[in-house]
Homo-oligomer: A and B are copies of this chain.
Amino acid sequence: MALRSRSIALMLSFIFVAQAFALQPKVNHPLDALTVDEYWKTYNLLQTAGKLAEKTIFASVLLREPPKAQVLAWKPGKPMPRKVDAVLLTDGKSYEAVVDITAGKIDSYTELKNYQAPMTETEMHGFDDVLKKDPRVMEALTKRGITDTRLVTCYVTPAGYVGLPEQEEGKRIGWGGCTYSANAKYGWDREIPGIFFIVDVAGKKIVRFSDYGVVPMPPTSSLYDADGGSALPGTQPILTSQPNGPSFTIKDGEVSWQNWKFRFRLDPRVGPVVNLVTYMDEGKPRSVLYEGALSEMYVPYQDPEETWNSHVFLDAGEYFVNTGSGGIIKPLQAGIDCPTYATFFSGTFFHENGTPYIRPQLACMFERVSGDPAWRHWDEDTYAISGRPTRELVFRTVATVGNYDYLFDWRFEQDASITVGVGATGILEVKAVKDQRADGKLSANMEGTDTDGKPVQFGQLVAPGTSAVDHDHYFSYRLDLDVDGTKNSLMVDKLVPFKLPDTSLGRKWIWAMKPEMIATEGDAKLNVSLDHPAMWRFSNEGVKNSLGQNTSFEIMPGETGISLLPSSEWPQKRAGFSEHSLWVTPYDPTERYVSGVYVMGSKGDDSLPEWVKQNRSIMNTDIVAWYTVGFHHVPRAEDWPQMPIMWHMFSLRPFGFLNKNPTMDLPMVP
């Protein structure tokens, strides 16, 4: 009843609230996303300058962030420098343009000689006709009894450099294959096994064709109920709502929630970029993170056959900037991906022809109550119990990268920590195999023998004749932590066994915490280890909490993995970041992308492992953390036809940043 009497007032406030929240397609801050107007300005400046041929493809159009010092010095009302990094592709040649929108001029325009534009949608799917009419493809189709070529689709995918002869000349090289969709229910199990070719992408021709042998295509997978099944008998509703609207506010693009403030933009290449994160402490906003964003993804498949081990994806930089119409970020579903009461945000991206568009529901923000306490205690003396409920703020996007869908969360907590979550779901990439069933193993027709003569497997059956190939996922996050300012140091606090003097009664050994400030980036390659645990803190030597401790934030890993491939292997040279859980470098505005600005065809010369060879000092200076969330995926039958979501997390956690637990005085209602 009480609820009902408030509903008219609430409805009015709803309208007000909803309006206040819409992110204006407007530039309020130097780090805000490009607007429709700005995409058009970029287009017009390039067109006027004669840089656009009829078939020029805009392979990438990204905000060029102003130098950090300039951003930190900027105040509302001051002039706002706005620049764009654009990459154009004309007749197979790549061009890099820096466009100054504010000044209305092109700062630079260069043909890329040693680098290439990321692969574009047109290149991936645009010359199916040419490919499937290649006589070698035609012959392979005939050999497989496939005659209805209307149902055949051939595609190209960027061929990450692996030292193939075809890649030697620095050409724009892809690999590809074909699908056959007769009687298909959905597409991901319709790859024609054995057909593999190397494509000169600029020349639009197959430069090598390989037929790795005929294997019958598996039966099409059974359909699932795409529109939702019936609830199991007895299922009762769970109602979750926020009738007065959310507690966060957004003013000029700045989000405020509880003690947190931050900005964000949706970037076509790396997805959500979170900026200028501060935590309000005793009435004062304190800096935590200048910028946090995904830097690159790396997904290498693990099969002896070239058809499948060619699958080495560096998704963010290599080709998802504009493919699939809208960059890496894809729409979210209210009530499925985010609660129905979530607030959604649109994003402004670009078509291949350089023209902008706005797509709704690309990010969501919501508060939630888990039913878990912030803290609680039972006092043995008084039999008193105390505690507090808690809520959190979730900022979420989803990237779809072909078959896979990745939820990317930034979760802001009341205890002053931030949890970054990656939820992997979507569809497995599968390979047709001869056998319909396994015989007690997980695999069929995907076996080998190790050097000790013991059997190994490369993939698992997930449906009859359908095998999902083993692979890894690595997500490199660039975390420009600025704990109470830009000058930070990396503390590695190792936990080491410590022998007590022989005179010690009872215990002879304990462990001790051995703090070490890491001097240079060469020594800042760190792995999660059960045997050699350590804490990783970003500490400010110049600022103390009330206890006299240097203020710091810790990166706390969750369950994670590193690459098992030797660093001599080409994919590892290109994605060397995956060899360690954490790297730390001094801030350098040119180091944003862990596998380089230009990833297509790269040999890894512009990459984190190369940068750190300089062995620059990382003490008491502006430093950047590169943390990788990694996991190996040995697929299960239960991962088909869609994968149950699998979350991996890490946290940024205050450590002596505050004077005490900030959740002590929370209210009794979450």
Contact = CB atoms under 8 A, between A and B. Distances in A.
Interface in A42-68: none
A74 interface: no
Interface residues of A, number: 187
Contact of A405 (B377, B530, B638): B377
Contacts of A530: 527-529, 560-562, 581
Contact of A376 (B237, B337, B544, B660): B337
A321 interface: no
A282 interface: no
Residue with the highest number of chain B CB atoms closer than 10 Å, among A450, A463, A512, A565: A512
A531 B244 CA distance: 50
A336 interface: yes
Interface stretch (A291-299, A499-507, A610-618): A499-507
Given A331-B385, A495-B632, A506-B309, A376 B441 contact: no
Contact of A565 (B234, B243, B497): B497
Copies of the protein in its oligomer: 2
Interface stretch (A21-29, A107-115, A362-370, A594-602): A362-370
A36 interface: no
A315 to B, nearest CB: 13
A228 B510 CA distance: 39
A345 B372 CA distance: 18
Interface stretch (A268-276, A453-461, A479-487): A453-461
Interface string A648-667: 00000111111111111111
Contacts of A226: 386
Interface string A209-247: 000000000000000111111111011111111111111
Nearest to A647: B372
Given A547-B461, A565-B510, A456 B245 contact: no
A533 B528 CA distance: 12
B375 A425 contact: yes
Nearest to A564: B511
B405 A376 contact: yes
A418 interface: no
B637 A669 contact: no
A450 B504 CA distance: 16
Contacts of A665: 224-225, 228-229
A284 interface: no
A203 interface: no
A182 to B, nearest CB: 15
A606 interface: no
A82 B335 CA distance: 49
A249 B637 CA distance: 30
Interface in A608-657: 632, 634, 636-645, 647, 653-657
> Among A493, A528, A571, A645, which residue has the most Cβ atoms of chain B within 10 A?
A645
Interface string A137-171: 00000000000000000000000001110000000
Given A244-B237, A564-B533, A507 B664 contact: no
A427 B386 CA distance: 12
A495 B634 contact: yes
A229 B244 CA distance: 21
Given A306-B506, A333-B387, A373 B425 contact: yes
Nearest to A338: B371
Interface string A328-365: 00110101111100100000000000000000000000
A512 B640 contact: no
B335 A668 contact: yes
Contacts of A243: 237, 239
A448 B383 CA distance: 39
B500 A304 contact: yes
B655 A636 contact: yes
Interface stretch (A89-97, A98-106, A388-396, A585-593): A388-396
Contacts of A232: 247, 258-259
A535 interface: yes
A562 B493 CA distance: 17
Contact of A4 (B4, B464, B581, B658): B4
Contacts of A500: 304, 309
A369 B240 contact: yes
B377 A425 contact: yes
B249 A470 contact: no
Given A224-B665, A338-B371, A511-B565, 12 more contacts: A164-B506, A227-B668, A239-B241, A335-B389, A376-B407, A378-B426, A440-B548, A448-B512, A470-B513, A495-B564, A509-B565, A511-B632
21 contacts: A224-B665, A225-B665, A226-B386, A232-B258, A309-B504, A337-B387, A339-B369, A342-B371, A366-B371, A372-B645, A374-B644, A375-B645, A415-B638, A442-B655, A450-B496, A461-B547, A470-B511, A529-B530, A638-B655, A641-B661, A643-B661
